[in-house]
Structure 1
Amino acid sequence: MTTEIQQYKNCTVLKNNNDYQILWSRGKEVFNFPISQELAKRVSKSKKDALEVMFYCEHHRWPKADELDDYNHSNTIVHRGDGFVVYETDGYYEISFFKEVGGAMGPEVCYPITKELMDKAFESSRGAYEVMIYAETGHWPI
């Protein structure tokens, strides 16, 4: 059983046999909805069609003429690192990562950080590790 992945500008469509899902994010929010094959085909037609399908999944109705103008926009900038994400919203920064629990991947955690700590996290993998430990414990690792 293989999953086919179609990546588009605003979303991703997953096909597993005859089951389809549409996924997208808006800032820190992640959306995931099952869709029909017909809607999956519509997503591939154009950026506008994809946005209409996304709107339809989220609101259970088709958008009116002006509702797509700012649809799915966010003032949160997502900075993706190796094993972590930093969300920047109007000068406020948060680092998010999956916490390891007993050698297994645990829950996703999110902590406020400064711009300087964000910069340090993106300098190196060691810097990222140190910032994650500091954000979680308030202490720098030894």
Structure 2
Amino acid sequence: MTKRTLLQWAVLSSLLASLPSIVNAAPAPASHGAPAASSGAIALPPGTRIAERDTGRVLASMARDHAIKTVRGNGKRTLYVFSDPDCSHCKRLERTLERIDDVTIHTFLYPLEGLHPQAAVHARGVWCANDRNAA
């Protein structure tokens, strides 16, 4: 698995973790009396919170020194954000996050060059700035 693929999975896990409600996984129903595992489905105990389990594993393996850290207030809550410096939706999210107090935000630059050809150049500019939070 490439680093890019791992980062894409980290983004997906982060997005799942940010959903307002987490869907609780239940064992897959058996078809025709056969065990669920025979259909290729993975049976999990009721109440297993997949997004939390996988997100914790991914976040534990991430290098936080590769993120831009912003602390507001006492920083007791933690958010992980993946942001493309040229993405209008990312900018809107960042403006929204400015209104949240008592939070530590770890922003990982994630340039989407397929959508924004200059995103990597702009991300390097942000990363190399004296004040990354202001860049």
In which range does the TM-score fall when normalised by the shorter chain? under 0.3
Task: Give the alignment's TM-score, normalised by structure 2.
Answer: 0.26
**Which of the pair has the greater relative contact order for Cα pairs under 8 Å at 6+ separation?**
2
Higher strand share: 1
Task: Give the alignment's TM-score, normalised by structure 1.
Answer: 0.25
Higher helix share: 2
